[in-house]
Chain A
Amino acid sequence: MDADVFFTEQTIMPPTRKGALRETGAVVEFRGVVRATEGDTQLDGLFYEAYEPMARREFARIISQLAARHSPQSVCIIHRLGFVAVGEASLYVRVESRHRGQALAFCGELIDRMKQDVPIWKISRPRVAGSKPE
């Protein structure tokens, strides 16, 4: 199984698939996008910070554990760092597998586990008076 984890301060550009496997039956892609509001607060965006070496290890541990249950063929994760404006993707996940159930379950569980254990933090950036809402 291929597994890639990237962190970037640039707009997320998903890499091309490494080669369409003849046995791939499902390609699930997820993008987490920054919303304009958090509670009652209007935002310009979110600022992301990570403890990157540990985040990579935690992603590897989670991918390994979930792979034992769901047998994906490939996993690609890209997480933004730094400022991410409203409307932009902060997270991209692509999972390929033989069947859709495996890829969908892997993707959902991966994100749940990330939100429990992967050391990445978001910090709200309230909208500055006079700035245009997205």
Chain B
Amino acid sequence: MIQVKLIAFAQAADSLGWREMLVECAPDDSPRAILERHAPGFDFTTARAAVDCEYMPWDDAVGALAQEIAVLPPVSGG
């Protein structure tokens, strides 16, 4: 098992009700599986995942070196 930081931003943080939490997971867990364990019912429709500051498909394995998994709603800078 590894320990990773789950972080959420903007509307994703609002809907989840938290911005950051430490969780344990297996290296072959996907961001989707990890988030579903800690936020059942989360709507993945428009959100994207990033692992250690790189976009990653929700269903890929996070890997043994993962430290931070971000939940990112649609971006709107500018």
- A interface residue numbers (CB < 8 A to B): 32, 48-51, 53-55, 57, 79, 90-91, 111, 114-123
- The interface centre, meaning the residue of B73, B76, B78 with most chain A CB atoms within 10 A of its CB, is B78
Count of chain B residues with Cβ under 8 Å from any Cβ of A? Answer: 15
Establish whether residues A51 and B76, one from each chain, have CB atoms under 8 Å apart when the complex forms. Answer: no
Establish whether residues B10 and A123, one from each chain, have CB atoms under 8 Å apart when the complex forms. Answer: yes
Contact of B72 among A51, A79, A116 (CB under 8 A): A51
The residues of A that contact B75 with a CB separation of less than 8 Å are: 114-121
- B interface residue numbers (CB < 8 A to A): 7, 9-11, 50, 53-55, 70, 72-73, 75-78
The residues of B that contact A116 with a CB separation of less than 8 Å are: 75
Number of A-B contacts (CB under 8 A): 56
Establish whether residues B10 and A111, one from each chain, have CB atoms under 8 Å apart when the complex forms. Answer: no
Establish whether residues A32 and B78, one from each chain, have CB atoms under 8 Å apart when the complex forms. Answer: yes
Nearest CB of A to B57, in Å: 15
Q: Which partner residue on chain B sits nearest A91 by CB separation?
A: B78
Establish whether residues A114 and B53, one from each chain, have CB atoms under 8 Å apart when the complex forms. Answer: no
Establish whether residues A114 and B77, one from each chain, have CB atoms under 8 Å apart when the complex forms. Answer: yes
Q: Give Cα A122–Cα B11 distance, bound, in whole angstroms.
A: 10
Establish whether residues A115 and B78, one from each chain, have CB atoms under 8 Å apart when the complex forms. Answer: yes
| A–B complex contacts, Cβ < 8 Å, 11 sampled | A51-B7, A51-B70, A54-B53, A54-B54, A57-B54, A117-B55, A117-B75, A118-B75, A120-B75, A121-B73, A122-B76
Establish whether residues B70 and A114, one from each chain, have CB atoms under 8 Å apart when the complex forms. Answer: no
Establish whether residues A121 and B70, one from each chain, have CB atoms under 8 Å apart when the complex forms. Answer: no
The residues of B that contact A115 with a CB separation of less than 8 Å are: 75-78
The 10 closest A-B pairs by CB, nearest first: A120-B77, A121-B10, A54-B53, A32-B78, A122-B76, A91-B78, A57-B53, A121-B76, A119-B72, A53-B53
The residues of A that contact B10 with a CB separation of less than 8 Å are: 49, 121, 123
The residues of B that contact A120 with a CB separation of less than 8 Å are: 75-78
